[in-house]
Chain A
Amino acid sequence: RKEVEQDPGPFNVPEGATVAFNCTYSNSASQSFFWYRQDCRKEPKLLMSVYSSGNEDGRFTAQLNRASQYISLLIRDSKLSDSATYLCVVISYNTDKLIFGTGTRLQVFP
Chain B
Amino acid sequence: GAGVSQTPSNKVTEKGKYVELRCDPISGHTALYWYRQSLGQGPEFLIYFQGTGAADDSGLPNDRFFAVRPEGSVSTLKIQRTERGDSAVYLCASSLDRNEQFFGPGTRLTVL
Residue numbers of A with Cβ under 8 A of B are 4, 8, 42-46, 87, 89, 95-103
Contact = CB atoms under 8 A, between A and B. Distances in A.
Interface band, chain B: 20 to 34
B100 A43 contact: no
A70 to B, nearest CB: 17
Contacts of B100: 46
Given A44-B103, A96-B55, 15 more contacts: A43-B91, A43-B103, A43-B104, A43-B105, A87-B42, A89-B42, A96-B33, A96-B95, A98-B43, A98-B93, A99-B45, A100-B43, A100-B44, A102-B40, A103-B41
Contacts of B33: 96-98
A99 B56 CA distance: 14
The 8 closest A-B pairs by CB, nearest first: A100-B42, A43-B103, A97-B45, A100-B43, A102-B42, A87-B42, A103-B42, A101-B42
Interface of A is mostly: loop
A98 B45 contact: yes
B79 interface: no
B106 A43 contact: yes
A99 B59 CA distance: 11
5 contacts: A45-B103, A95-B56, A96-B56, A100-B43, A103-B41
